[in-house]
Structure 1
């Protein structure tokens, strides 16, 4: 069995600006095996599709233990590195989060700055960076370089004035980079010019969200993106296809 440290190193090395790794967003062992059989070398588990798969709501409607149960099933069934969306951290300490993920076999995480357990407030930029720093220190203490993908929800929430939102996101994510993040995730659908600027001005590889089908990987590569994931869109596309298949049998 491949060691966690080797899997973490592999995951980190896959992030190449201009040659993005596509990490299909999966939610259980079935979807994970479909993605690996299709030839993908890493996976991410999204909170929204995982929650949907167990009848819970996104936004920490499931517990961290429920999430870890799914993660363990996925990592037991595939040999590729797995990153996990841990939302805003479930109100837990960094050491608890890192220990739980490593015990479940995950080697990467997404951490967002919307605090679901506190009325969905937005963490301050320094506060979010401090959480990233805590996660990095906990991972270092565990001896595994867990790949930390620091996310900001500024665009998703349309927080503050649009005129300076891009600048604020860059400043916020730069603090996260300085605190020990490996990847930066300005989640949302961005105009090409904005995505290019994010890829250019941020000091670390960036993650872009995509919808299966279009635009193609090369489009994101040209913009300097290093990582592509699908959020809830892959599961939604499969759900639509399943609905169409079943419609003929009603």
Structure 2
């Protein structure tokens, strides 16, 4: 998975939520697959924020691995554990299923602020000591703050990226960051390959490549679009003749 992260030639991850969506994205020519936590949760009828029971998440992962041997990254939220040891043990279970990488966020689910950088680094270090997973360390600084505050938050994000790198992270994920000049600075100053989330407000894939992004993921948007299409198709048929 590490070789797929190339600044300026981003790995495109059109996020999936189950085995069926995995097959569809794989057939479209994907180089790798990645789940999105909100998408998996929504498909199972749960809210986002570790509301999906861990065993259910593992079952979804197992079904995805049964239909595709592409490298798979799992959105593991905050790790489903209270201690670094618990988080590492949970991550090891994913690796046993054949998972290649995880997202691990410093936000505290469901919406309880952001974990201190040193504490999050301890979780990363525990996973690194126990697994060979690609650890995509996610900061929620930008996602949980308005865009007008993002420039002031960039130094803290860079500091966190360095701390997470020292702990053993392989990538740095900054969802919610959309300003091209800030993305460019993050990519230039961060020692890790940078992941940006593609959203309606974000730069285009071509622009993200120009800014030296190494990974572009779509988060919950593919699932939301699929559900919107399903709702509209159903509405068209249900309302027929009325």
Give the alignment's TM-score, normalised by structure 1: 0.88
- Aligned: 1:47 with 2:37: yes
**d(CA) in 2 for partners of 1:238, 1:213:** 19
- What's the counterpart of residue 23 of structure 2? 33
1:4 matched residue in structure 2: none
How many angstroms does 1:213 deviate by? 11
User: Is 2:188 the counterpart of 1:195?
Assistant: no
Q: 1:189 to 1:237 in 2, by over 3 A?
A: farther
CA contact (8 A) 1:212 1:234 kept: no
Q: Which region of structure 1 is more displaced relative to structure 2, 27-36 or 99-108? A: 99-108
**1:112 aligns to 2:99 (yes or no):** no
Kindly tell me the number of residue pairs found equivalent between the two proteins: 233
The farther-off stretch of 207-216 and 82-91 is 207-216
CA contact (8 A) 2:102 2:133 kept: yes
Gaps of 5+ in 1: 1-10, 140-144
Within 5 A, what are the aligned runs for 1:1-250?
11-91=1-81, 93-116=86-109, 120-139=112-131, 145-158=132-145, 162=149, 164-211=152-199, 215-250=203-238
Query: Could you give the per-residue CA deviations for residues 204-224 of structure 1, whole angstroms, max 9, x where no partner exists?
Result: 101010138985421110011
Q: State the distance in 2 between where 1:172 and 1:87 align.
A: 17
Shift of 1:189: 3.7
Question: Within 2, Cα distance between the matches of 1:82 and 1:213?
Answer: 26
CA RMSD, Structure 1 to Structure 2 (Å): 1.9
Instruction: Tell me if the contact between 1:212 and 1:230 (Cα under 8 Å) persists in the aligned partners.
Output: no
Q: Distance in 2 between matches of 1:195 and 1:212?
A: 16
Secondary structure of the corresponding residue to residue 142 of structure 2: helix
Deviation track 1:43-85 (CA, whole Å, cap 9, x = no partner) reads: 1111110011111110011121111110000011101010001
Is the 8 Å Cα contact of residues 101 and 135 (structure 2) preserved in structure 1?
yes
Distance 1:40 1:217 in 2: 15
Deviation at 1:94, TM superposition (A): 3.3
